Amino acid sequence: MSYKYYFNTYQELLTFIAFGKDLWTWGCMSFILSSSTGSTLNLDTSNNSGAGIDYITFSNTIPYISNYYNDNKMPITMDVKLKCPESFRAQADPSNYYQAFFLNIFTNGSINYLALGYNENGPEAVEAPFTVYVAYIQDMFDKWKTYYATEYES
């Protein structure tokens, strides 16, 4: 089961990232930015602090997006994978059917989207916890669309 949320432009995707502050606390598992000239920024997002947190938070990587864009201009490719906090996973999935829920953020100058994913704990996973996750992201996306229409399209 896969869900994608498409954006018309890179600007729309960036405003969603700025609007979706709840995502800023998510762990950033992968962070890759590439320019059309071939330069690539691939951050090691592992958190080795010993605090029991696997990855640095997305908020720590966000400044790199605008800096990289300003230095390289479009088109840039952004491929970011976020992992939801364990507290969110446990609330959405109290029976522990899933190891984690993920959100991929991708743009390459012409395609801009969010893709939702998960890792199961076994073959007996039920759909309900993933549905809670999808509803959470859908609600955030719907609120962003209203915000974007008010702030940028009017």
Q: What is the pLDDT of residue 49?
A: 67
Q: Are 134 and 90 in contact (CB under 8 A)?
A: no
| Interatomic CA distance for residues 57 and 25, integer angstroms | 5
Rounded to two decimals, what is the model's pTM?
Answer: 0.91
What is the per-residue pLDDT across 39-57, written as a single tens digit (0 to 9) for each?
Answer: 899 998 987 766 656 899 9
What is the per-residue pLDDT across 11-48, written as a single tens digit (0 to 9) for each?
Answer: 899 999 999 999 999 999 999 999 888 889 999 898 77
